[in-house]
Amino acid sequence: MSAIKGIVLLSGPTSGLGLELLRLLGQQDVALVVVGRKLERIGDVLAAISAPVHRIEFDLAEAQCPEKTEQLEKALFEVLGKIGLDRLVFASNAGIVEPIGQVGDVPVSGFNAPLAINLLAPVAMTNACMRYVKSVNGRLFVLNVSSGAATRPLPGWAAYCSSKAAARMYFDVLGCEAPAIVRIQHFDPGVLDTPMQAKIRAASEQQFPLVQQFSALKNEGRLKPPLEVARQMELRIMEWLQQ
């Protein structure tokens, strides 16, 4: 392996797009930091890749608890410090679409998990990233896996749309605060053939009036393969690291 070009922090590496991106980046000259729950599920993938990998076991749904986010920030900052490189990529990939349901039918408590995973966990990880790059006079590239739901309302997706929109704006604010050391890029992967899409298709029309449209995409073979989209993300990451 050639000289390590930088650090790539990847959230949500255990399935779908995140898993395919992990496989690809595992063959690149980068130091990987993966954050997720039950990482033993991908132990065979982690063992097979050539890049150095640092694991942080964390249930991102627990980011709704301040004590847990402090633990995540501390653990991540320590891992980044041990690696010690000055170029850092945060591929903010983890996300959930649930709960799916009409406004008024979803209790306030139903918003806890999507806000934690889609917004608060990325905030905690970004805090650690910013502390780190400032400490080493480094630079940060955030590749935020966004969604059309972050910019337009969809019936039944109040929790998903609002949490993804909030994350997008959060990163935009970061970009305008620190343009000299931070680059922000939002990446909309489109509709992929992933476990998330299976959950969407399982919703009733009462919960999600557009469910038949999403089912048609699957039946007609119009869902994108996650590997194809992961290659696009890999290209953006490596181009930035090689600048």
pLDDT in tens, 206-231: 999 999 999 999 999 999 999 999 99
**Can you read off the two tokens belonging to residue 223?**
């869902």
Q: Which residues pair with 140 in a beta bridge?
A: 88, 182
Which pLDDT does position 193 carry in this prediction? 85
Residue 207 has what pLDDT?
96
Round the average pLDDT of the chain to a whole number and report it. 97
The answer for residues whose C-beta is within 8 angstroms of residue 169's C-beta and 6 or more apart is none
Encoded tokens for 121: 């966990």
Share of the chain above pLDDT 70, in %: 100
Phi, psi dihedrals of residue 113, rounded to the nearest 5°: -65, -50
What is the Cα–Cα distance from 18 to 83, expressed in whole angstroms? 22
Give the closest residue to 60 by CA, choosing from 167, 187, 193.
Answer: 167
- What positions carry a catalytic annotation? 160
- How far is the CA of 69 from the CAs of 58, 60, 76, 101, 117, in angstroms? 10, 9, 10, 28, 11
Neighbours of 135 (CB within 10 A): 12
* Closest residue by Cα to residue 202 from 118, 99, 113: 99
What tens digit of pLDDT does each residue of 81-92 get? 999 999 999 999
In this structure, what DSSP letter does residue 39 have? G
Question: Which tokens is 104 given?
Answer: 């008024």
Written in H, E and C, the secondary structure of 69-126 is HHHHHHHHHHHHHHHCCCEEEEEECCCCCCCCECCCCCCHHHHHHHHHHHHHHHHHHH
Contact 72, 58 (CB under 8 A): yes
pTM confidence score: 0.96
Pairing of strands 7-11, 87-92: parallel
> Which helix (DSSP H) or strand (DSSP E) does residue 214 occupy?
helix 211-219
Domains, the chain, in order of start with CATH, read 7-191+226-241 (3.40.50.720)
Chunked in runs of 10, what are the mean pLDDT values of the chain (243 residues)? 91 97 98 96 94 97 97 98 98 98 98 98 99 99 97 98 99 99 97 90 95 94 95 99 94
